Amino acid sequence: MRTGGATRPGAVLGCGLALALVTGGLCTGCGGSGGPSAEPTRTATPSASTTSPEDLCTKVVAHWSRKVLDSHTYGDYQTMGLSNGQYDILRKVVDDARAVKKTRGAEAADALIGREARKGCRDWYRTGGPSNGPWG
């Protein structure tokens, strides 16, 4: 076995593989002719959607109003993730929904919750929403 300038067949293969991996990585984005393409390929990424503060208020107030409707208590607004202002809206919505449920049924009460939560939140944000003070 010679130890001078001789190379082992496995070493040549290993270097060839490394070279292929390196040059293959350089060709990423190359066009069909082997050279760089004129324009890089771009993929469309979906944009983040946002929910307006009024819509978010409506969703959480309506959700918790439906949960609270059949209970005998309102619960703690902080555990519900509501601000003081949202909790005020919830209490009015639930009071109104309870009265409607007694006279016109659960379906009418549910519809009222959706309408009144939207109206309450719209009015609340029209006058400044949570920026009215530290407890909003």
pLDDT in tens, the chain (136 residues): 445 555 555 544 454 444 444 445 444 554 555 555 556 566 667 777 888 899 999 999 999 999 999 887 778 888 888 998 999 999 999 999 999 999 999 999 999 999 999 999 999 988 877 765 554 4
Domain that holds residue 115: 53-130
Note whether residue 9 is domain-resident: no
What is the C-alpha separation between 71 and 101, in angstroms, rounded?
13
Whose CA is closest to 117, among 97, 83, 93?
93
Cβ burial of 25 (10 Å; 0-12, 13-18, 19+) is exposed
Q: Look at residue 75 and tell me if it is in a domain.
A: yes
Q: Structural domain tally of the chain? A: 1
**Dihedral angle, C-alpha 127, 77, 80, 126, nearest 10 °:** 0
Please give the C-alpha separations between residue 13 and each of 20, 27, 44, in angstroms, as whole numbers.
Answer: 10, 21, 40
Residue 67 within any structural domain of the chain = yes
Helix, coil or strand: residue 30: strand
**Domain presence at residue 39:** no
Q: Is residue 65 part of a domain?
A: yes
CA–CA separation, 2 vs 24, rounded Å? 34
Q: Would you say residue 111 lies in a domain?
A: yes
**DSSP assignment of 55-71:** HHHHHHHHHHHHHHTTS
- pTM score over 0.85: no
Indicate whether 11 belongs to any domain. Answer: no
Classify residue 10: in a domain, yes or no: no
